Copies of this chain bind each other. A is one copy, B any other.
């Protein structure tokens, strides 16, 4: 199986390193519009051919799969063309800029019987895998809330706001861990420059069952925080991604309530117990993602980070964007 990568910037470099090391696939070509990136490729993966033109990859009949790691606004067109040329496609997060685009790609991929996948790398980390198994096993009980904070002093992106930059990680984790699909969002944000691109934003995601998710994103925090709280009615999880070794803590903490007959008075019993800090699989997440892409093509299994994961992230981002611009109004998720 031959693979081509389009886009050889910061993240593209990580992709090249990982795809070059795969056993059951060859990285045969890398495209980037900047001529000066050629020498970097020679160092990193001398067997891959450098090209300035994405089309040389997309139209090359010897290439089976294309990885797209270019700016977001170019994703749709490149992916569309690649699918039209019968390639399997892996797109960097966020998948595309609009829900309609995601659906069009998905339909085309199904028609062409090609794999369409989105790189939500975080789903392949030991931490997220551990949370998934804790939740799926029933240990955590019914999940009641999900609260994520991802803030730091970040580069202001010229074309996308802080939500499109940071939230895809956490939204993809939410959708991976929790089965229920959201009903609506409310979002607020502010731009401290005068281009209207938000550098601080908050999303509430509302669900019919009473489950609630909240995301706090900022490029303007003096401290770096990567924290997720997931509360179940049996146990609760804290995922602190800054911690070098103790990223996941499982609190044997829960609450039960009894409501008396007139449904006015509520008695809540808390329970607190031991804390458990599981050892996590230290494997590099990106390598797991690359393997999953290749083996999903070869074996036909559904990858962890599939197109639905990509689509659902876009739906929430797009609705949040509408809500921010409409002063926090509730926007339904289609």
On A, residues with C-beta under 8 Å from B are: 43, 144-145, 147, 149, 151, 153, 155-156, 158, 184, 186, 188-195, 197, 200, 202, 204, 206, 210-212, 214, 216, 218, 220-223, 229, 231, 236, 238, 242, 244, 246, 249, 251-253, 255, 257, 259, 263-266, 268, 270, 272-279, 327-330
| Minimum CB distance partner of A158 in chain B | B265
| CA of A190 to CA of B264, assembled, Å | 16
> Using Cβ atoms and an 8 Å threshold, which residues of chain B touch A189?
212
Query: What's the number of copies of this chain in the assembled complex?
Result: 4
| CA of A133 to CA of B257, assembled, Å | 34
> Using Cβ atoms and an 8 Å threshold, which residues of chain B touch A328?
186, 204, 206, 328-330
- Asked if residues B200 and A145 are in contact (CB atoms below 8 Å), the reply is yes
- Asked if residues B200 and A202 are in contact (CB atoms below 8 Å), the reply is no
| CA of A246 to CA of B268, assembled, Å | 24
> Using Cβ atoms and an 8 Å threshold, which residues of chain B touch A278?
274
**Which among A149, A210, A223, A236 has the highest number of chain B CB atoms within 10 Å?**
A223
Given contacts A193-B259, A197-B266, contact A188 B210 (CB under 8 A): no
Q: With both chains docked as a complex, state the minimum distance between the C-beta of A270 and any C-beta of chain B, in angstroms.
A: 6
| CA of A71 to CA of B276, assembled, Å | 39
Closest 6 CB pairs of A and B: A186-B328, A222-B251, A275-B277, A222-B236, A188-B204, A156-B268
> Using Cβ atoms and an 8 Å threshold, which residues of chain B touch A329?
328-330
| CA of A249 to CA of B50, assembled, Å | 48
